[in-house]
Chains A and B, each alone.
Chain A
Amino acid sequence: MSEAPLLKIEDLSVQYMTDEDVVYAVNGLSAELYRGESLGFVGETGAGKTTTALSVIQLLPEPAGIITGGSIWFNGKNLIENKEKENQAIRGDGISMIFQDPMSALNPTLRISRQMMEVVESHRKCSRKEAEAICIDMLEKVGIKRDRFDDYPHQLSGGMKQRVVIAMALLCNPEVLIADEPTTALDVTIQAQILEIIKKLIKDSNMSMMLITHDLGIVAETCDRIAVIYGGSVVESGTVREVYKNPRHPYTRGLFASIPKLDTEEEELHPIEGEPPNPARMPSGCAFHPRCRYCKDICRQEKPPVRGESHQVRCHFDIEEE
């Protein structure tokens, strides 16, 4: 890929200040998103996936969340240094986000029509009629009939609500869509429907997507590239094929060994011992070292370097096939 990335996160660090602690949510995270591709952002609870997304869209909870370092480049502008007004224009139009829980992303007291129209009217100069046409058209694209346009959220099922949320995120044709666990609250058959819709819409409009999930299966079926997050930074990234066929970071390998597989007859799972780090008390050196079976002295003392070109690994060592 010779072109410049559409979105570039460089060495981002974010901390939350609480009464007792400083929580190190994101620690020197870098990632790139190119036009038309989807990037899977994979990690466990507390790895910093959602905090990164909220930093990109500049909606970190205030005053607790503070960006302490790094930059986020979008179309040649650093979003962190932008004025709030400029970022407000980018949200929705340039970068849009789908949140995990469709039940709480919609206002229960307003009709779907009103909530969707508000999005269009705040970003575009158009008549009510035009706005309505745009909304209904988008609603039909996600497979909801126009007669549901005036429903309240409680009249829709979970899958339909999530489709409305997706439709709302896409109303202004954003260049980047951030989807934060868009199907976690849904059943598998509904999840399959929703992922199918997202894939199609992305392809049709040449949009880029950052898909946040903990499900390695969803990434394999939806994304072009993957970034594995641990302890607030990317520990391994590359194309889905590179990472899945030849995982090189001990954490990524551990993840693959610990998920039960549907298509093979393996009998034993090999869990990663220990627990994910507490972001208020990050381990020194490599964040994964307390759980790593290859851990050496250097891992406890120094932050590991990033190795590799397209397939990148953040580790002191280059562990070979076992």
Chain B
Amino acid sequence: MTEQKTMLEVRGLKKYFKVPNGGNLHAVDNVSFTINEGETLGIVGESGCGKSTLGRVILRLHEPTAGKVLFDGMNITAFNKQEMQKMRSKMQIIFQDPFSSLNPRYTVAQAIEEPLKLNGIGANSEERKKRIEEMMDLVGLAKRTYNAYPHEFDGGRRQRIVIARALALNPKFIVCDEPVSALDMSIQAQILNLMISLQKQMGLTYMFISHDLSVVKHISTDVGVMYLGQMVEKAPKGALYQKPLHPYTVALLSAIPIPDPDANRKKIILQGEIASPINPKPGCRFALRCPFATDECRSVTPELVEVEPRHFVACHRSKEMQADLLQY
């Protein structure tokens, strides 16, 4: 576990969107991190914090405004269209809604076959058929559904089709954008277990985006917390959930309802709402809702620094506040 290979490195990544009335929406603002091969980085945050945009910019489904993405040591932000096209077979994405990410007029087999055709895998339809059946078997889809259409499936099995399609090209890295959020509770666990076992079998690296901290805890190695386009804390999951250092992470964790009538936790009810990400002022973006904010917090943007091995936090007061945070 010591010398692990870095699969993905993101350096100073930015994505600004122009807004009609002037100004820029800072969807992703100066985000840097690495993911090791075979591990899962969970990304959590509330709606509008930029977590989905981050996933898309990494795959260059949106072009970054600034910054670099190194995949397996290669700077893919400098790749041209053809090079990127080739690279895409190694980097896949699974979206939240299995209802809209499948073409309703394609059968299961056609959906899985399309990426194979596009990338010239399998010399003829016989070979491709073999590969399709292999994939269906891998994700637990019955062979008799080979010629079935998406509408014949429920959400859980549609998500299995999407996963089979993403894995057909033998990718190394998959961005999973809320892959279980649209599913029912009893089905969520089926898909999570499938994703974990596929990761072990195929040595996959995941970036798992979700607003659900319990799900992220279950599947991740490390977890990054985003707030208004910035990563405010990143740590191995044990440290993040046991000993969070950023006040936002603390509040976020305390806000999750726990299914145990004896849990009896103290809840931190944050006042106010998330500020606008359009032309944000310098300073910590959480300062407006933070009970510990000082003048420095309101004027100087804190950097993400490593305060303990592999535990990064962007907070001016994280050191002095550790005692406060524990009681808070």
Contacts and interface: CB of A to CB of B under 8 A. Distances in A.
Nearest to B215: A260
B47, B189, B214, B217 — most chain A CB neighbours (10 Å)? B189
Given A159-B273, A196-B269, A241-B261, A188 B185 contact: no
A187 B217 contact: no
A134 to B, nearest CB: 26
B261 A220 contact: yes
A45 interface: yes
Contacts, number: 118
Given A263-B263, A269-B189, A221 B214 contact: no
Nearest to B44: A188
Chain B interface size, under 10 / 10 to 19 / 20 to 34 / 35 or more? 35 or more
A216 B189 contact: no
A203 to B, nearest CB: 16
Contacts of A270: 189
Interface in B178-218: 184-190, 192-193, 211, 213-215, 217-218
A44 B184 contact: yes
Chain A interface size, under 10 / 10 to 19 / 20 to 34 / 35 or more? 35 or more
A259 interface: yes
B259 A256 contact: yes
A271 B260 contact: no
A192 B255 contact: yes
A65 interface: no
A275 B260 contact: no
Given A258-B189, A276-B184, A192 B269 contact: yes
A189 B270 contact: yes
A244 B255 CA distance: 20
B241 interface: yes
Interface in A127-163: 157, 159-160
B214 A259 contact: yes
A214 interface: yes
B186 A217 contact: no
Nearest to A276: B184
B211 A221 contact: no
B241 A262 contact: yes
Given A192-B269, A275-B154, A218 B257 contact: yes
Interface string A154-196: 0001011000000000000000000000000001111111011
A23 to B, nearest CB: 15
A189 B251 contact: yes
A259 B269 contact: no
Contact of A261 (B185, B211, B252, B259): B259
B252 to A, nearest CB: 6
Q: What is the predominant secondary structure among interface residues of chain B facing chain A?
A: helix
B281 interface: no
A43 to B, nearest CB: 9
B186 A220 contact: no
B196 to A, nearest CB: 9
A240 interface: yes
A255 interface: yes
Interface in B139-198: 154, 156-157, 184-190, 192-193
A200 to B, nearest CB: 11
A258 B46 contact: no
Contacts of A201: none
B260 A269 contact: no
Given A193-B269, A262-B241, A275-B187, A269 B192 contact: yes
Given A44-B186, A220-B263, A268-B193, A189 B214 contact: no
Nearest to A272: B186
Contacts of A281: none
A220 B260 contact: yes
Interface string B246-282: 0000011111111111010001011001100000000
B257 A160 contact: no
Contact of A269 (B213, B218, B258): B218
B193, B214, B257, B269 — most chain A CB neighbours (10 Å)? B257
22 contacts: A159-B273, A160-B273, A189-B251, A192-B255, A193-B270, A196-B269, A216-B259, A217-B257, A221-B258, A222-B257, A255-B185, A259-B188, A260-B217, A260-B218, A261-B258, A269-B192, A269-B218, A270-B189, A271-B187, A271-B190, A272-B189, A275-B154
